[in-house]
Structure 1
Amino acid sequence: MKDNQGITLVTGAAGFIGYHVAHRLLKDGEEVLALDNLNPYYDVRLKQARLAQLKTFPGFQFEEVDLADRVGMEALFARHSVGRVIHLAGQAGVRYSLTNPHAYTESNITGFLHILEGCRQSHVRHLVYASSSSVYGGNTRVPFSVHDNVDHPVSLYAATKKANEVMAHSYAHLFGLPCTGLRFFTVYGPWGRPDMAMFIFTKAILAGEPITLFNEGRMRRDFTYVDDIVEGIVRLRNHVPGPDPTWSSEAPDPGSSSAPYRIYNIGNNQPVELLELVSILERTLGRKALKLLAPMQPGDVPSTYADVDDLMREVDFRPATPLEVGVERFVAWYREYHGL
């Protein structure tokens, strides 16, 4: 494959993780081509505020393009010399996928195909893309390992993320496109998404409104601070995968391949019950929460827990920000952003 040392394309750069990755690269003096469609899944003003932060860096370029727009995506790759792609755009949210399934196939399937084709046609050196801990679906053996089978998703969102992984593998196998998939575990932190628990709970507690805790608050999540996610992405971005010489077609390992393809978990490796998260928020905010305990919701899983041994072995990094520290940083940002 022809090497291409061009600009780094970060998709979903007006989104939560995409913003943080773009900010880190720009702060390190790199050039970033940012892509986002600024859709109204949540308040566009928050996305625009993130972009305003990024626009202060001289190495920043922004393109408002929808992943599902084939012509627009082909034109974007034709206009720019893209060396690496960090693909973080896509339709997020498990519960939203129960009522708006087409948003997921358009963005996460068709849109991902356009990313793969752009990478292939432009001879991109490395595609790093967001998968999700949700792909573990019906698995109950913990911690979740990339070497386990993940053929039992329990939401369409999870199914689209699993589809991304197998689509990427096909391009790695057919065209030698190096692909690294990252399964994120419940990411939180400053500039977070308003549809996620940390944001929802903080807003409600400050307003004196009740919060709903599914599975009676016994849901366990491997809450991972966004800076740890970014560090993992930045390290893996330059860790271009090659074929695994130990991979066997008679006993295939789902986490690697005879193609230039790898999968990694990025999680805090320390699951916490939602009730414990609420207790930390109460202490940090100095207010008590009004808790409504509810049963499990369709598409949810009772626990997530990341095995990050592969990440540690390959790039010498293991997420480790304590939840108490991360919550304090999130709350400080939340108060500042909302002028509280």
Structure 2
Amino acid sequence: MPAGGRVTLKTIADSLGVSVKTVSRALAGKDSVGEELRARIRAEADRLGYVPNSIARSLVSGSAMTLGMVITHPANPFYSLLISAVEERCRANGYSLLLMVTEEDLATERNAAEALLRWGVDGAVVIPVQEGAEHWQRLRDSGVPIVLVNRGLEGFACDFVGVDHERGAYEAAGHLLDSGASSVHLLEEDVPFSSAADRRAGFRRALTERGLPEDDAVTLVPQSVEGRRVLPWEPDAAYRCAQQLVSRLEPGAAVLAGSDYFALGLYRALAEKGIDVPAHVAVIGHGDMPFAAYLRPALASVRPPADEIGARAADLLFERIQGSTAPETSIWLPPELKVRASAGGRNPHESN
């Protein structure tokens, strides 16, 4: 690198005795530069360690070559897989990913939408707070395509990719009942989000189809405790709710938990009462966290296809960026029920 610091197009041009315009055209792949000279310029750029200025490039191309991604909680394990899948698609297309976090706060989400507008991103993958769409409509009206993930927005028409939570809970509750459970209970978040509502709907459908009562079958984990927000990957609040639920469970009952972390709280409450899983109570969680298969007994869980959701969302976004005018599409991907020892399945991590 020259003593002046950053290598520029002029640095390369001076080194080879050609014009800056020629260097620019060669590195951009323009046909007006011959192959031999183009090869020399690229070789010299590599030797000098030239790195393109992305801001200058975006001014020339009219594209920031960047996608925005707005999530609610970075600590959510589901989102880590989602982010990785979107980022991998960005890399493959020569784009960067700008990540923003809302912490389920509407004001923060509005600021994030404004920031994406100022940055001039080419598109956005958004997991919304679900408390209004005006700020997202403004971003879309500016020409930025948006793909919603896992949560829709009423009255806001755009592409959507998400987990079929209703189907996942329906199949899990149905599995427990069809495997001989005398009753099944749902331990779920007390939140206004569509994902939790869809799980409750699927659970209730499984009971209704089998002629079972829904009364007293759902236990809701509070959204906040002593003024502090409860997150779905914190088992303590679920443990406190499960202490009350356990007293109502008869031998042969089953519990479907809205997250694997809620199942952890339930496991503790059951153990403290000397209730064996699955001999007395069967359990299925949601999320299929890495620890699920290593609990004792191994936790059965509903696994969402997080990586596929991220990839499909990014692919839809790139289609829009490239000019697709196809009607908005909604893609609901089915989760997979992983049956393990807690629901009567075989535990691969226990000896035979």
Question: Could you say whether these structures have the same fold, taking a TM-score greater than 0.5 normalized by the shorter chain as the test?
Answer: no
Identify the structure with bigger relative contact order (alpha carbons < 8 Å, sequence gap 6+).
1
TM-score (norm 1): 0.40
The structure with the larger Rg is 2
